Amino acid sequence: MNTDSLAQPQDDAAMPRRLGSLRLRLTLGVPLLTLAIVVVLTWSRAGPAAPVDELGRIVWQVLLLSVAQLLLIEALLLRPLQRLAAGCEAMESDAMPLQPEGARPAPGLAAELDRIGHAMRRVHGSLRQQDQDAQALRRELAHQRLLLEQAQAALEANRRELASLERTDALTGLANLRAFDEALRREFKRAQRQRGLLALAVLDLDEFKQFNQRHGAATGDAALKRVATLLNERFKRDTDVVARLGGEEFVALLPGVGMAEAQGVLELLRDDLRSLGLPDGQGQLTLSVGLAAVSPAHPYLSAQALMQAADEALYIAKHAGRDRLSLAA
Ligand SMILES: Nc1nc2c(ncn2[C@@H]2O[C@H](COP(=O)(O)OP(=O)(O)OP(=O)(O)O)[C@@H](O)[C@H]2O)c(=O)[nH]1
């Protein structure tokens, strides 16, 4: 509940004005009523001629009775009402303490009205406190919501990074075996469906063990990264997938490319590697490549069969003396 509406001043002068008007009406009404009662009583006691004879006495009686009644009304009704009104106004402005220091409780009706006034002020105070508590809670809630949104954003960023790490080779930044497997299955199905072309090359650095032993693992790492850069530069169509399967073994999956075209690009890549300027004393790196390709004239039963054909071609290239490209039968 919003107590702002309670605290909003209505019309500051309305209550005193109403009390003043009530006081005026009582000041006029009480003597008139008293006059009427006294006249009727005198008339019923002494007949219609009596009021005229007893006019002086009647006037005095009416005056005294009216003053006494007005004093009583003032003390028992109007003053307590005035206090209650003042209490309500103070409640709106919070200017009055709940119970003035050393105040004695008023008697009778005044006491009841005082108690009502105090009770209303306490209710108002409690509502105001509840409103402040609710506002503090709302602020806290908004703060917690903000923290939650930040935590969710951080979590989402971590999740994306993790997902990307799960599919990326940490050393070279190429796709890893997992990402390659998915791509191979996807592209193989597409080539089958569309009776299209798909070339798959498995590339393995030659005698990399020796290279590592001669120049150290850090130089070996740098060489692997340079090979990855060369692969990215040669196979940069959106649909090409280049991955590191592990160790010094890479793979290139080329949708829409047939055996002859793939062979041409791979020979260029081998030239690139040969002319790759390795730092002094590091000699030269060479590649052996096994290439297999799907075409309407040469379909494969499965993605695994295609991979196996490329692996077998690589095996042949290695055993034929390395630094060469071998085509699957
Ligand atoms: N620097 C470095 N070396 C690696 C990494 N992964 C694998 N190797 C090394 O690569 C070498 C691969 O050796 P082999 O499998 O015997 O192959 P190879 O020496 O290239 O011989 P062939 O493939 O038969 O030509 C091993 O010495 C591995 O330790 C890597 O991330 N960084």
pLDDT in tens, 231-276: 999 999 999 999 999 999 999 999 999 999 999 999 999 999 988 8
Residue-level pLDDT at 75: 84
Number of domains in the chain: 2
Q: Residue with the nearest Cα to atom 21 of ligand 1? A: 207
* 197 and 122 together in one domain: no
> What is the band of 37 on the pLDDT scale with cuts at 50, 70, 90?
confident
Q: Is residue 184 part of a domain?
A: yes
Domain that holds residue 79: 4-131
Examine the domain organization and report whether 124 and 244 are in the same domain: no
Residue 295 placed within a domain:
yes
Q: Return the pLDDT at 189.
A: 98
Residue 114's pLDDT is 73
My answer on whether 316 and 183 are in the same domain is yes
Is the pLDDT confidence value at 160 over 70?
yes
- Asked whether 206 lines ligand 1 (CB < 6 A), one says yes
- Of the candidate ranges 33-37, 110-114, 167-171, 281-285, the one whose mean pLDDT is the lowest: 110-114
Calculate how far, in angstroms, residue 260's C-alpha sits from the geometric centre of ligand 1: 29
* Cα of 329 from ligand 1 centre, angstroms: 27
**Distance, CA 211 to ligand 1 centroid (Å)?**
8
| Residue 176: both structure tokens together | 């890893």
C-alpha to C-alpha distance for 96 and 175, rounded to whole angstroms:
76
CA atoms within 13 A on the CB side of 85: 17
Domain presence at residue 110 = yes
Asked whether residue 151 is domain-assigned, the answer is: no
Distance 134 CA to ligand 1 centre (A): 67
Ligand 1 within 6 A of CB of 208: yes
Strands 241-246, 325-327: pairing is unpaired
Domain end among 102, 131, 160: 131
Least confident window among 33-37, 39-43, 104-108, 249-253: 104-108
Phi, psi of 238, deg, nearest 5: -55, -35
Mean pLDDT of 13-17: 71
78, part of any domain = yes
Is residue 171 lining ligand 1, measured as CB closer than 6 Å? Answer: yes
Q: What pLDDT, on a 0 to 100 scale, did the predictor assign at position 4? A: 46
Per mean pLDDT, which range of 2-6, 18-22, 103-107, 114-118 is the poorest? 2-6
Q: What is the pLDDT of residue 42?
A: 82
How far is residue 46's CA from residue 38's CA, in Å, rounded to a whole number?
12
CA distance 11 to 20: 15
Domain assignment of residue 141, yes or no: no
> Which numbered atom of ligand 1 lies nearest the CA of 288?
25
- Which ipTM did the prediction report? 0.97
Give the residue, out of 202, 206, 248, with the most ligand 1 atoms within 8 A of its beta carbon, to mutate for a pocket test: 248
197 lies in the same domain as 84: no
Residue 210 located in a structural domain: yes
Do residue 266 and residue 212 come from a single domain? Answer: yes
CATH number of the domain at 243, please.
Answer: 3.30.70.270
Q: Do residues 231 and 126 share a domain?
A: no
Q: Whole-prediction pTM value?
A: 0.61
Q: How confident is the model over 46-87, as pLDDT tens digits?
A: 777 766 777 888 888 888 888 888 888 888 888 877 777 776
The DSSP call for residue 324 is: S
pLDDT band at 94 (very low <50, low <70, confident <90, very high): low
Whether the CB-CB separation of 295 and 312 falls below 8 Å is answered with no
Residue 55's pLDDT is what?
81
**Is 181 found in the same domain as 113?**
no
Whether residues 123 and 265 share a domain: the answer is: no
How high is the pLDDT of residue 99?
53
User: Cα separation of 234 and 262, whole Å?
Assistant: 11
DSSP label at 190? H
Tell me, yes or no, whether 225 and 281 share the same domain: yes
For ligand 1, atom 8, name the residue with the nearest CA: 247
Q: Are residues 114 and 213 in the same domain?
A: no
Task: Report DSSP state, residue 276.
Answer: -
On whether both 23 and 98 belong to a single domain, the answer is yes
Rg (CA), the chain: 52
- Show which of 131, 158, 193 is a domain's final residue: 131
Q: Which tops the pLDDT comparison, 6 or 116?
A: 116
Q: Among residues 96, 111, 131, which one ends one of the domains?
A: 131
Q: Ligand 1 within 6 A of 318 CB?
A: yes
Asked, for residue 140, whether it belongs to a domain, the answer is no
Q: 93 with 216, same domain?
A: no
Is the minimum distance from the CB of 63 to ligand 1 under 6 angstroms? Answer: no
